[in-house]
Chains A and B, each alone.
Chain A
């Protein structure tokens, strides 16, 4: 599979998830595992351009696919979403942050000027246990307003 633009080979044992392949085999530990059932969004990645929970993708089914993880979003500079969340102080414990960044980046890719409601809808699958939603949304609103 292609991960963040690079061809990677990963010899998984069985039915483990793409999240496990990324973290345990490829050591890309930016995507986080928490609920393992698609409820929390902390493992969000782009699979062939679609925002998905990598815990719900069977690694073996990602064969030949293109995957972008949090590690592949920015370049030498931070991705605009990352910078926006830093500027708004939108990180508390930080565990959900990679998932939020990937989901927000996917939203802005599709809709460069989302309304607040559209942002809330797009991030409905990402849970912040610190309940730091206000600063996350403020960061994104500031980013969109400044464009």
Chain B
């Protein structure tokens, strides 16, 4: 096995161009589980943990190498909230947002945040840089549009950021859980609202009919909130697995989204 420790971005994408089948290693919290259980035997590893070029975080650009520990506080309330729910201190110190994006698990906790903001994923290769909107990037369960020669370098957020944002997830305990349902709600002062949910479909899901309906309500009352929850529950597409049933996930999606919207409205 060969391990490449690239000194900069050019070296990193150069290594990927030279070894198109190379395995990318960021925080290791997903990859090493597969290694430890002998599910994969990487031949060439490009190690990204100490790649400085992807470590910067600003209001609109989050470097792929930024760990969830670093994201536990910052400009974006929902991002900080979701970062604090991930794994344990040990996992948050290692796991990165770029890894979360690259793994593209349906339960990836950063995905509803990115989906709700229509974030773009920035990809870098020897042939240049391109940005894909989240719904073009995430193509299915653990599937993305990343080419093998590309490196995820950042998540890029839009200029028009919401005035209020809330994230929450449901799990079986309060730490070290994989989401049964996760949700992000964004609200602007003019009423515009977005809601994205995780663990209830192959990738994050936007409840667009619910968004349209509630965006028309400048001061939603109980009836509007009830209708919002009902529409969210209708728009998700969950499965039944060992963590929860599709019925439970559907119900919980509506409850969670309404609760987060109420928090946005009262803040």
B93–A51 CB distance below 8 A: yes
Flag whether A122 is at the interface (Cβ < 8 A): yes
Task: Indicate which residue in A37, A38, A50, A60 contacts B45 across the interface (CB closer than 8 Å).
Answer: A60
A56 CB contacts on chain B under 8 angstroms: 27-29, 32-33, 90-91, 94
A57–B90 CB distance below 8 A: no
B94–A124 CB distance below 8 A: no
Cα A126 to Cα B37 in complex, Å, equals 21
| Chain A 119-141 residues near chain B, CB threshold 8 A | 121-122, 124-126
Q: A19-40 CB contact bits vs B (8 Å, 1 = yes)?
A: 0000000000000000011110
B45–A58 CB distance below 8 A: yes
Q: Answer whether A60 and B1 are a contact pair too, CB < 8 Å, given A14-B41, A125-B88.
A: yes
Q: A42-84 CB contact bits vs B (8 Å, 1 = yes)?
A: 0010000011110111101101000000000000000000000
B90–A36 CB distance below 8 A: no
Q: B15-50 CB contact bits vs A (8 Å, 1 = yes)?
A: 000000000010111011101110001100101010
Flag whether B161 is at the interface (Cβ < 8 A): no
A55–B45 CB distance below 8 A: no
| Chain B 1-23 residues near chain A, CB threshold 8 A | 1, 3, 5
Cα A38 to Cα B99 in complex, Å, equals 15
Flag whether B194 is at the interface (Cβ < 8 A): no
Task: Indicate which residue in A39, A51, A57 contacts B32 across the interface (CB closer than 8 Å).
Answer: A57
Q: Answer whether A51 and B47 are a contact pair too, CB < 8 Å, given A15-B41, A63-B5.
A: no
Cα A103 to Cα B93 in complex, Å, equals 12
**How many of chain A's residues have a CB under 8 angstroms from any CB in B?**
29
A103–B33 CB distance below 8 A: no
Cα A17 to Cα B35 in complex, Å, equals 9
B36–A36 CB distance below 8 A: yes
Q: Answer whether A58 and B28 are a contact pair too, CB < 8 Å, given A15-B41, A15-B42, A17-B35.
A: yes
Task: Indicate which residue in B28, B31, B49, B90 contacts A41 across the interface (CB closer than 8 Å).
Answer: B90
B91–A38 CB distance below 8 A: yes
Task: Indicate which residue in B35, B90, B174, B175 contacts A15 across the interface (CB closer than 8 Å).
Answer: B35
Cα A15 to Cα B36 in complex, Å, equals 9
B3–A60 CB distance below 8 A: yes
B258 CB contacts on chain A under 8 angstroms: none
Flag whether B89 is at the interface (Cβ < 8 A): yes
Cα A106 to Cα B69 in complex, Å, equals 14
B5 CB contacts on chain A under 8 angstroms: 61, 63
Task: Indicate which residue in A14, A36, A41, A126 contacts B33 across the interface (CB closer than 8 Å).
Answer: A36
B28 CB contacts on chain A under 8 angstroms: 56-58, 61
Binding site for A on B (CB under 8 A): 1, 3, 5, 25, 27-29, 31-33, 35-37, 41-42, 45, 47, 49, 69, 87-91, 93-94, 174-176
